[in-house]
Amino acid sequence: MSTSPLSFLGGIDPKTGMILDPESDAKGECISKRVLCFPYGKGSTVGSYSMYQLRLNGLAPVAIVNSSAEPIVATGAIMSEIPMVDGVDISLLRAGDHLEVDAGEGVVDVKDLTEKHVVTTVLRSKGKILLLRRSSKVGSFRGRWAGVSGFIEPHEPDEDAARRELREEVSITKARLVRRIEPERFRDGKVVWCVHPFLFDVKDPSVKLDWEHEAFEWVPPQDMGGFETVPGLPMIVRKLLGP
């Protein structure tokens, strides 16, 4: 598993299968008989033949998983008969994960990994956004600052879930939907959180907290850096408030 691009020419030793690339966080790891995950390939087209040499030496990976396929790696995978899948968010994978790769279907299955769908609503009033500090009674991210968030119930539309959480968590029933963006995914241990983000405006900043939170603050978005937030919240806020 390398979070940086790899070159098979000079970056991987065809005689040992060891990653040599000094820019890779996987330097010193052996790729032989393992699923090799990295964002995309780099370097000379001769890298395709380096992949083939790994195969001849019995040191090739059993499969390759990329965020984006590029010709050098794709050609080398075909030449070497290495199953390959691209279009995968590499940031959600970890070294040591048990992967099942179906190149025919273009599917990568991570065993023992659970995906949970939640909504996160950024509530805005008079140019400030609402941050809520999660209480000691919740199951995750205790003490962290978050937006108005919660699980999406089975078969529940995500906007309905967002409005339900506004009612339950901060007792707000009148809010204007301003923007929604595509879901973002973040990994925490064996859980991938699929976050459905929304931006709502309210005129009245009055808030009544439920048991899930112990404090709240209305803050300018640029001051979020002073708060320890749940994973990905600053990025979600930037996207929701962006042009």
Supply the residues annotated as catalytic.
Answer: 44
Count other C-beta atoms under 10 Å from residue 8's C-beta: 25
The answer to whether 212 and 138 have CB atoms below 8 angstroms apart is yes
Q: What angle do CA 218, 220, 224 make, to 5 degrees?
A: 90
Residue 16 DSSP label: T
Exposed (0-12), middle (13-18) or buried (19+): which is 206, by Cβ within 10 Å? exposed
Residues 120 and 237: their CA atoms lie apart, in Å, by: 10
State how far the alpha carbon of 21 is from the alpha carbons of 2, 10, 37, in Å. 10, 7, 15
Q: Of 243, 242, 224, nearest to 234 (Cα)? A: 224
Q: Under DSSP, is residue 8 helix (H, G, I), strand (E, B) or coil?
A: coil
Q: How far is CA 46 from the centre of its chain?
A: 32
| Amino acid, res. 140 | S
**How many beta carbons lie within 10 A of that of residue 235, not counting itself?**
12
